[in-house]
């Protein structure tokens, strides 16, 4: 890759030197929040399901 003056640019060095910007931190924080919230549903179901099964009346299945 070259710049406007025709000089070669080492892309790997450019990325390594640029650091972690504010515009990269915001999407990362959003992704972490989404992943945490996405895990709440299975955790809640796993916590509530045994108690719900005990509370529900059980009736035998019949073939009609």
pLDDT confidence of residue 28: 94
d(CA 31, CA 25): 10
Per-residue pLDDT of the chain (64 residues; tens, 9 = 90+): 777 887 888 888 888 888 888 899 999 999 999 988 888 888 888 888 888 888 888 777 777 6
Domain extent, residue 45, equals 20-55
Q: Considering the entire predicted model, what is its pTM?
A: 0.48
Residue 61 domain-assigned (yes or no): no
Residue 49 domain-assigned (yes or no): yes
Residue 40 domain-assigned (yes or no): yes
Q: Within a 10 A sphere around the Cβ of 9, how many other Cβ atoms?
A: 10
pLDDT confidence of residue 40: 85
Residue 50 domain-assigned (yes or no): yes
Per the structure, the count of domains in the chain is 1
Residue 41 domain-assigned (yes or no): yes
pLDDT confidence of residue 58: 78
Residue 9 domain-assigned (yes or no): no
pLDDT confidence of residue 6: 79
Residue 31 domain-assigned (yes or no): yes
């Amino acid at each position: 890759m070259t710049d406007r003056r025709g000089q070669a640019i080492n892309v790997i060095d450019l990325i390594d030197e640029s650091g972690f910007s504010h515009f990269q931190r915001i999407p990362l924080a959003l992704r972490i929040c989404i992943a945490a919230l996405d895990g709440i549903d299975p955790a809640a179901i796993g916590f509530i399901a045994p108690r719900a099964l005990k509370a529900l009346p059980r009736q035998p299945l019949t073939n009609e």
